[in-house]
Structure 1
Amino acid sequence: MKIIKKTHKAEYRPIDDLVTYSPMPTRSLSMIDPFLFLNHHGFQTYPSPNQGLPFGPHPHRGMETVTFILEGDIMHSDSTGKNSVIGPGGVQYMTAGKGLIHAEVSSPEFKRKGGDLEILQLWLNLPASKKMIAPNYIGLQKEDIPAFELDKGKVRVQQLFGEWNGVKGAFEGNFPIQMSTIYLDKGGKFEKSIPASENVFFYIVRGELKVNGEGLHMRHLIEFANSGEKIEVEALEESILILGHALPFNEPVVAQGPFVMNTQQQIYEAYQDYQAGGFA
């Protein structure tokens, strides 16, 4: 069994009128290599009309984002010409690579009608050898994401990266990674074996779980020691979990604003390139 090293409660960090919690980075946890950053927006209900999400055009370099839309929607547009509106249950995967500018806002319909909103964005690092690859974006609706059931249907898994239970993930990552969104009914159980050499990203979005015998609550990120392989999960109430794992890069990380590189010089170059109009 994997040992739970520490649990990290997400800190409340509102952005304008957007309810936001973040368990990483904090004073107690800088990152879980190669998982860099998580913002958990909502749950909240927007009135009609509203201004929607506040993330207008901004740049990125050297990292990737995985965005989970549980309620509401996101309208994505970027400087490579990609556009989409992704609704509940959908997921966006964006590779910033050498640089792009994108906007993440609510659709005109959501801003007009309002409604429930809960969206999470996870930042993934890119290895040094791929920091400057071409940018890319894929947005998939719920029905386009491979899924399977465990425990007689009490556990439903969206497979995003890698392969589990014979189901290949929706996205092809830029490094070996496994990631799933897991929906559990009360009493639902599953087990997963993860090599001791890999780092685990385990965030409880909603509900309450018993993990390797320990009761754990929503809006907590669970940090595991690099020992043992098995994780046993039981839902004490209806729950949602994001579970990922990958080998650490063990490379220097220099993050400043929207850029994640390996040296301060590379950060300086990123700002220079952006200001000179060099992003896609």
Structure 2
Amino acid sequence: MNVKNIELVVPPREPHFVGDGFRVHNFIPSGYRLDMQRMNPFIMLDYNSKFYFPPSDKPKGVGVHPHRGFETVTIAYKGRVAHHDSAGGGGVIGEGDVQWMTAASGVLHKEYHEETFSKTGGDFQMVQLWVNLPAKYKMSKPKYQAITNDQINKVKLPENGGEIEIIAGSYGDVKGAASTFTPVHLHNARLNKGAKVDFSFPADYNTALLVIEGKIRVNGSEDVNVNHFVLFENEGEEFKIEAIENAVVLVLSGQPILEPIAAHGPFVMNSHKELIEAFEDFQNGKFGHLED
């Protein structure tokens, strides 16, 4: 197999707030060539790097908002989030947990700092990823996968190197907990200093890394600092990560969905006509009801 080389290393952009509870760096889509079509099926990635929120009696977050045409994946590294949607989903995303919500034909959603976390305050660190859906599934029934950390399969690395958490897809013969509509690999590599680990994905898959903690070296030559995003070329299959310090790395790789993208705000469809229909359905109450 051939080496998959780095195309681009992207530093974190200036953060902005989503609502009042999520202080995020946006990586996808962005001006770094990381547009939706280039990164498809990963069409949005917001990263709340580690940030201290002081205690608050009123939970911070994002009020009721719609989604259609894709899935939202929330990965919690620090802090706790409570969430609800108009399809009946909801719960608390604790540290190490994942919320995988298929908005598909349309849901209303809200998410806030969990009440106890809000009252005590603390470090908050999350990734929210939007995963595109093929046209034939965009109007399917919404569903929800609550994946607690103890449900995530893990592969221990040799010589106390750490472990790989397989959220979706597979690592070797071990499969992830999440079901997906197209081939998607989503892993957390939790590496101890000095650990080396190999990954292999098809050459044409859109593949990237986000360094959540620590510092890493990719393919034995390029050092990547914390909070930086790595995009790989669509050539070659294999790459190596070495932990220069104790590190946590989000690894994502997915088969491109080779269809048109028409996106506006919380709606991601295949045509302008479908976007208009989404706005009309939302305004006519077809996404259900959810109290703010």
Post-superposition offset of 1:17: 6.3
- 1:22-171 correspondence to structure 2 within 5 Å: 22-28=26-32, 29-31=34-36, 32-49=39-56, 51-171=58-178
Once residues 52 and 220 of structure 1 are traced to their aligned partners in structure 2, the CA distance between those partners, rounded to angstroms, is: 29
- Work out the CA distance in 1 between the residues paired with 2:237 and 2:265: 35
- Structure 1 window deviating more from structure 2 (147-156 vs 252-261): it is 147-156
Give CA deviations for 1:124-146 in whole Å, capped at 9, x if unaligned: 11111111111111222212221
| SS in structure 2 of the partner of residue 277 of structure 1 | coil
Q: Which letter maps to 2:35? A: S
Give the match for residue 21 of structure 1: 25
> Which residue of structure 2 lines up, in the alignment, with residue 12 of structure 1?
14
- Retained in 2: the 8 A contact 1:203–1:242? yes
Q: Which amino acid in 1 is paired with 2:144?
A: Y
Contact 1:95–1:137 (Cα < 8 Å) also in 2: yes
Distance in 2, Cα, partners of 1:161 & 1:57: 28
How much has 1:252 moved relative to structure 2? 1.1
- Give the superposition deviation at 1:13: 2.6
- 1:18–1:83 Cα change, 3 Å: closer
Q: Deviations over 1:197-243 (max 9, x none)?
A: 21113211222111112111122221111111111110111111111
Q: Which residue of structure 2 aligns with residue 215 of structure 1?
A: 223
Q: Partners in 2 of 1:263 and 1:232 — Cα distance?
A: 39
- Distance in 1 of aligned mates of 2:5 and 2:175: 28
The share of aligned pairs that are identical, in percent, is 34
SS at match of 1:223: strand
| Counterpart Cα distance in 2 of 1:220 and 1:127 | 29
Name the aligned partner's letter for residue 9 of structure 1.
P
- 3-state SS of 1:151 partner: coil
How many corresponding residue pairs?
Answer: 280
In structure 1, the residue matched to 2:195 is: 188
Q: Secondary structure of the equivalent of 2:273?
A: helix
**Post-superposition CA distance 1:32-70 (Å, at most 9, x none):** 111111111131122222544421111100011111100
Distance 1:265 1:17, change over 3 A: same
3-state SS, counterpart of residue 11 of structure 1: coil
- Paired with 1:4 and 1:53, the residues of 2 have a C-alpha distance of 37
Tell me the distance in 1 between the aligned counterparts of 2:109 and 2:52: 25
Which residue does 2:239 correspond to in 1?
231
2:110 alignment partner, SS class:
strand
Q: Is the CA contact 1:18–1:42 (under 8 Å) kept in the aligned structure 2? A: no
Q: Which moved more, 1:45-54 or 1:79-88?
A: 45-54
- Which letter does structure 2 place at the counterpart of 1:231? F
TM-score, structure 2 normalization: 0.91
The 4+ residue runs of structure 1 with deviation greater than 6 A are none
Shift of 1:25: 1.4
Task: Answer yes or no: is the 8 Å Cα contact 2:47–2:126 preserved in 1.
Answer: yes
Write out per-residue CA displacement over residues 142-199 of structure 1, whole angstroms, 9 at most, x where no aligned residue.
1222112113332311111122132211111111211111111111110112111211
- Cα distance between partner residues in 2 of 1:244 and 1:172: 15
For the pair 1:244 / 2:248, whether they are aligned, the reply is: no
Partner Cα separation in structure 1 for residue 225 and residue 121 of structure 2? 29
Q: Which runs of 5+ in 2 are unaligned?
A: none
Once the two structures are TM-superposed, the CA of residue 247 in structure 1 deviates from its matched residue by: 1.4
